[in-house]
Structure 1
Amino acid sequence: MNFTTANSTTTAPATPGGVRALGWLAAAGTLPYLTLKIGWLAGGTAGVRDPGFLADPAIVAANAVTFAMDLVVIGLALALTHRWGDRLPVWLVLLPVWVGTGFLVPMVVSIMPAITVETLSGGLHSTAFEPWLQPLVYGGFAWQGVFLCAAFAAHSVRRWSRVVTASTPPAAGLVPFLRVVTAGGCVMAAASALLHLVAGLASGSAVALGVESVSGALAVAGAAGVVALVRARPTGRWAAVAAAWAGSAAMFAWGLYTVTVRMTTTALSGGSDPAAGAAQVTGLLGGFALAFAGMIALVGAGESRRG
C-alpha cells in the first residue's frame, strides 16, 4: 500500500463544510499573535513594559521567525481541510504538523489552564510584559491547538485510515533496528517524565507541578503508543497513533524550543533548574526516537508499503 496514495483524491468530492470550517477557525486563532508581531516588527511596543527588550537584534529575529511560523500554521490549517492538501507530499504535511501540534497540545491541556489559574488568582506577574499579554497570546495558541488537531484528525482519517488500521508487522530486517530505537526512545521518555516530576516538585508551586506532570504524562503516553504500534496489535490502533503522535511531538517540540532559547543571550533565556533543562533535553531525544520508531512501525511492513 502506498502511503501517499492510500486514499485516492483525484475524483473525490470537496471536503464537508464542517471540516473546512475547522481550518478557518484554526487560522483565526493566529490573528492575535500575528497582530502583535506585525506591531512589534513595525516598531510598536504594545504589551511590553521595556521597549529595549524589543530592540534586541535576537528578539527582532525571533519575532520575524515566529511570525513566519504562524503563517505556516495558516497554510497547514487550510491544506488539512481542503482537497488540494491531499495532493501535497506526505513529509510536507506530517513534519510541520507534528512539530506544531507538539507545541500546541500542551498549550491546550496544561499551559493555558495554568495561565488562567494564575491570572484569576492574581499570581501572574511579569516585569517584561503587561498582564493581559500572556493570556491573549497563550489563548490564541490554545485555540489554534484545538482546531488544528481536529483538522488534522479529519485529514488523517480521510487520507490514511487504511495505513493506520493495518496491523501487519514490519519487515523482518527492520525488527532489530526498530527494537533498539524504540527502547532508546522509551528510556529517554521515562527519564524525561521523571525529571519533569522532579522539576514540578522542586518548584514549590501547585500550578507548576500540574504543568510538569502533564508534560511527564505526555512522555509516558508517547512511549506507550509507540510500543503498541511496534507490537502490531490489531485493536486500538487509532488510540495508539494518537498517543504516539501527541507524546513524541510534545517532547520534541518543547525540547527543541527550550534548547534553542537557552542558546540565546536574550531575556527569554533566563535560568532554569537542572531538572527542568534535563527533562527537555531527554524529551527532545526521546521524542525524535519515538516518532521514528512509530513511523517505521506504521509504514515499514515490507515492499508493499514502501511508500
Structure 2
Amino acid sequence: MEMTDRTRRTLGLLTAAGALPYLTLKAIWLAGGTIGVRDAPFLADPSVVVLNTVTVLLDAILVALALALTRPFGARLPAWMLLLPIWVGTGFLLPMVVAILPVAALGSLSDATGPLEPWVQPLVYGGFAWQGVGLALAFVSYAVRRWGAVITRGGTVAAPLRPLLRVLVGGGAAAAGLSGLLHVVAGIASGSGSAVLVDVANALFAAAGALGVARLAGGATEHRFASAVAGWVGTGAMFAWGLWSAVLTMAGTALAHPDPISGPAALAGLLGGFALAVAGLVALAGAQQPVAAEPARA
C-alpha cells in the first residue's frame, strides 16, 4: 500500500483529529461538567472517574501512534514500542466500525433512557471508528515499508519452533472457537437485535484471527499478506475486548455487567487472541524461504 509522504502526513493528522470530540468531552467531565449526562451521580462514581482518566491517556497514546506511523521519526522507533499498542488499538477500534457504531447510531434514535444523552455514544464511537480506520491504514502502509519482505516471505518455520507453534495455534484456535460460539449464544440469549449484531461480529473477528494465523503457521505462500491482516485484526479484537471486559469486571466498575455467557466468551477471546498473536509472530519471524531446486545438469 504505497503512499506519498504528504498523503501519510495528512492521514496521520486526520487520524489524530478524530480524537478531538472524545478528548474534549472527557476533559469537560473530568473538570466537573455534565454535558451529555443525564445521571450526574453516575459521572461522579469513582470507578467512572478513573476510567475516564485512563481512557483519556489511552486516546492520547493513540494520537502519538498515528503521528509515529506517518512521520519519519516513526521509522527509527524499535518495533516493540509500536507493535503492542497498535495491535491492541486497532483490535479495540475496528470492531466499532463494523458493529458498535451502527448499534450506537440506531440506539440514539430510540427513546431508551440511560446515564448519557442519546447523542453521546454516536459521537464517541464515531470518533473511535474514524481513528480505527485511519490507524489501520497508516499501519498497513508502515508495515509494508518496514516489514513487507518478512510478511510476504513463504515457507514453514524452523524445525525447533514447530512444536511450540502447534501448541500455540491449536490452543489459540480452540479458545477462539469457544469464544466465537459463546458470543453467538450470548447474542441470541439476549433477545436483542443489537446484541446479536455485536456478538456475531465478535465471533467473525475470532474466526478471522484463527484462520489467518493458521494459514501463516502452515507456511501458505498465496495471499499471505491478507492472512497476516486477518490474523492481526482478529487476534487484536479478541484480546483488546477480552481485556477491557476483564478489567471492568474485576475492578467492579459501574460499567461492569457480569454475564454467565459473555464473561467466559470474553475471557476465552483474551486468552485465544494472545496465544494466536504469539503464534503469528513466530510464524512470520521464523519462516524459512523454501530453497529452489537446483537445475539439472547436462
Amino acid in structure 2 at the alignment position of 1:178:
L
Give a deviation string over 1:242-288, Cα, whole Å, max 9, x none. 1000000000000000000011233211x343111111010000000
Aligned to 2:53: 64
Aligned to 2:281: 295
Of 254, 257, 262, the match for 2:241: 254
Aligned to 2:144: 157
Aligned to 2:23: 34
Matched position secondary structure for 1:274? coil
Matched position secondary structure for 2:115? coil
- Provide closer, same or farther for how the CA distance between residues 117 and 57 of structure 1 changes in structure 2, counting only shifts above 3 A: closer
Aligned to 1:107: 96
Of 169, 181, 184, the match for 1:194: 181
Of 99, 104, 126, the match for 1:139: 126
Unaligned runs of 5+ in 1: 1-13, 303-307
Matched position secondary structure for 1:128? coil
Report the more deviating stretch, 36-45 or 49-58: 49-58
| Mapping for residues 74-89 of structure 1, pairs under 5 Å | 74-89=63-78
How does the TM-score come out when normalised to structure 1?
Answer: 0.90
Amino acid in structure 2 at the alignment position of 1:153:
V
Aligned to 1:176: 163
Aligned residues: 286
Of 267, 270, 289, the match for 1:284: 270
Amino acid in structure 1 at the alignment position of 2:33:
G
- Provide closer, same or farther for how the CA distance between residues 203 and 288 of structure 1 changes in structure 2, counting only shifts above 3 A: same
Matched position secondary structure for 2:66? helix
Matched position secondary structure for 2:108? helix
1:116 aligns with 2:105: yes
Aligned Cα root-mean-square deviation (Å): 1.4
Give a deviation string over 1:94-142, Cα, whole Å, max 9, x none. 100000000001001111111122334x26x242111111111111111
How does the TM-score come out when normalised to structure 2?
Answer: 0.93
Unaligned runs of 5+ in 2: 289-298
